[in-house]
Amino acid sequence: MIKQTAEKLIELNMDDIKKSLKNGRIFVCAIGTGRIGLPTALSFAHSGLPTIGVDVNSKLVQMINSGDFPLKDEPGFDKMFDEVIKNKNFHATTNIEEAVPHSDVILLSLPTPMSKDHIPDYSALISVGKNLNKLLKPGSLVVVESTVQPGFIENEFVSVIETGTRKLKVGKDFGMAVCPEIANPGEIWKDFKNLPRLVGALDKRTADIVAEIYRYVFGVEIVLMPDCKSANAAKLTSNVFRDINIAFVNELAILFEKLGIDILKVLEACDKKYNFQIHYPGAGVGGPCLPVNSYQILNSVRNLDNNMLKIIKAARKINEKMPCHVVDLLLDALNEAGKKVKGSTVVILGLSYKPNVRDIQLTPAEEIIKKLENLQAKIKIYDPYFKSVKVFSHNTESNLMDAITNADAILLITAHNEFHDLSPTLLASKMTTPIIVDSGGLLDAVAAKKAGLIFRGIGRGGI
């Protein structure tokens, strides 16, 4: 049994911190063991630091403790998971009281979604923060990995931990830092090995300790930010940059359809220039990050000047209209085929908000399905990550070929690998009405037309 440091972590000098890291005497508690929290907890445990995961999802905790790796779409972590479960350096619990009082580092990878009217929801963080007031070991470190708007830590979260049954003082009783996670779902293994970590804290000493710990665990560059709000601003800026640029190409895509220009050819040409960064049009921008992050930054101007950040508001509007545009392309193609949407069999290929992950949070597919229901189309759904299950009140198909046989139209929503080699000739031979709307830029439009398909694609004019 490894002996835990009796000292307060935030009071140790750097040499002692280095020694404690090497000897595995810094105990870690990772609260939230989902897409981000579990790979993070595994990385800490694998570096030799005893780690406990805490999650309210008892099924997930049970799965973890029985040695069944839950994140099948995050390649790389399964072996690490087996190792740390086997050597007992990691286990999970639903009981926060079992984990926090014995831990020196508390990592928070809790969800930060938004309400239907786009107000950020930090309730999971607040609820855990209240527990931390009761449970924190003196001198421990709290690191928020969740994405929050700049100022949330300083103006709200710290006082949640400081006030309660115990009166705590940040910097004295506990250290407060952020390391906003910037890894991409589906690519977390690669990103953890390569991307720098942004670390911000409420005081320089805490920042240095967190930097040392993260350097030890991940072995990557640490970017020390001046404070928590700057680190959170950096995380949001990089994602909002993408939301805005995707909106830009989505808007161009709609124009290019009218002008008879294929946007893929245009983007390919632009990408030849060194200072162009390619973004692709699509059926919408979903997931737990990009759309939410834009609203988080918008929320941070709510009390300042609501006229600021017009470009982000415009980008959101454009991206939120894209599911509608996909349905318009379908209606146009059906019109060409002389068919009505009502009663036509429309097959949705791909539910996930991005290729090759099992995640339907804020996916544009949901909006498209709702619109098709209103138009009384017969809907069939196939997604390799959601076979034979009920999603958005529909039973999904188990087999791609069965799904498309006798279809009147295919809406290709998510560019999963399984859809990359779809043969236009095969599609045309299986379908009753050979319509395809390609929102992932997967099909060769010329080949599709040659095969007899009625082809539509986002931004695919002139073909």
Ligand X SMILES: NC(=O)c1ccc[n+]([C@@H]2O[C@H](COP(=O)([O-])OP(=O)(O)OC[C@H]3O[C@@H](n4cnc5c(N)ncnc54)[C@H](O)[C@@H]3O)[C@@H](O)[C@H]2O)c1
Instruction: Name the residue nearer to ligand X (CB basis): 32 or 286.
Output: 32
Instruction: Name the residue nearer to ligand X (CB basis): 56 or 324.
Output: 56
Q: Residue 117 to residues 308, 365, 407: CA-CA distances in angstroms?
A: 19, 19, 36
- Span interacting with ligand X, options 33-41, 150-158, 341-349, 382-390, rule CB under 6 A: 33-41
Instruction: Name the residue nearer to ligand X (CB basis): 140 or 147.
Output: 147
Judged by CB under 6 A, the chain residues 319 through 338 that form the site for ligand X are: none
Q: Which residue in 112, 140, 352, 396 binds ligand X (CB under 6 A)?
A: 112
Distance separating alpha carbons of residues 296 and 129, to the nearest angstrom: 20
**For strand 435-438 and strand 409-412, is the pairing parallel, antiparallel, or unpaired?**
parallel
Which of 413, 420, 426 lies closest to 444, judged by CA?
A: 420
Cβ atoms 342, 334 nearer than 8 A: no
Instruction: Name the residue nearer to ligand X (CB basis): 132 or 341.
Output: 132
Instruction: Give the DSSP letter string of 404-461.
Output: HTT-SEEEE-S--GGGTT--HHHHHHH-SS-EEEESSS-S-HHHHHHTT-EEEETTB-
Which of 422, 256, 282 lies closest to 347, judged by CA?
A: 422
Distance separating alpha carbons of residues 54 and 61, to the nearest angstrom: 8
Minimum CB distance to ligand X, residue 290 (Å): 10
> Per-residue x/- mask for ligand X, residues 62 to 101, rule CB under 6 A?
----------------------------------------
Minimum CB distance to ligand X, residue 33 (Å): 6
- Span interacting with ligand X, options 22-30, 109-117, 273-281, 412-420, rule CB under 6 A: 109-117
Which residues touch 136 (CB under 8 Å, ≥6 apart)?
100, 101, 106, 142, 161, 168, 173, 174
Examine residue 39 and tell whether it contacts ligand X (CB under 6 A).
no
Which phi and psi angles does 186 have, rounded to 5°?
85, -20
Instruction: Name the residue nearer to ligand X (CB basis): 124 or 428.
Output: 124
Minimum CB distance to ligand X, residue 121 (Å): 10
Q: Which residue in 17, 32, 254, 285 binds ligand X (CB under 6 A)?
A: 32
Cβ atoms 353, 417 nearer than 8 A: no
Q: Within a 10 A sphere around the Cβ of 426, how many other Cβ atoms?
A: 13
Minimum CB distance to ligand X, residue 155 (Å): 18
Which of 11, 18, 441 lies closest to 215, judged by CA?
A: 18
Residue 7, classed as helix, strand or coil, is coil
Q: Which residue in 111, 150, 175, 364 binds ligand X (CB under 6 A)?
A: 111
Instruction: Name the residue nearer to ligand X (CB basis): 60 or 400.
Output: 60
Q: Which residue in 12, 84, 110, 377 binds ligand X (CB under 6 A)?
A: 110
Examine residue 37 and tell whether it contacts ligand X (CB under 6 A).
yes
Token representation of residue 214: 């993260």
Number of residues forming the site for ligand X (CB under 6 A): 26
Buried b or exposed e, range 243-266, using 16+ CB within 10 angstroms: bbebbbbbbbbbebbeeebbbbee
Minimum CB distance to ligand X, residue 330 (Å): 29
Which residue is closest to ligand X by CB?
34
Judged by CB under 6 A, the chain residues 259 through 288 that form the site for ligand X are: 288
Q: Which residue in 21, 114, 177, 289 binds ligand X (CB under 6 A)?
A: 289
Judged by CB under 6 A, the chain residues 153 through 212 that form the site for ligand X are: 181, 183, 185
- Span interacting with ligand X, options 28-36, 61-69, 77-85, 258-266, rule CB under 6 A: 28-36
Minimum CB distance to ligand X, residue 368 (Å): 22
Examine residue 128 and tell whether it contacts ligand X (CB under 6 A).
yes
Instruction: Name the residue nearer to ligand X (CB basis): 48 or 180.
Output: 180
Instruction: Give the DSSP letter string of 331-369.
Output: HHHHHHHT--STT-EEEEE--SSSTTS---TT-HHHHHH
Q: Which residue in 7, 60, 309, 313 binds ligand X (CB under 6 A)?
A: 60
Eight-class DSSP state of 183: P
Token representation of residue 112: 């930060």
Which residues touch 382 (CB under 8 Å, ≥6 apart)?
347, 348, 349, 396, 397, 399, 400, 403, 404
Residues that bind ligand X (CB under 6 A): 31-37, 54-57, 60, 109-112, 124, 127-128, 146-147, 181, 183, 185, 288-289
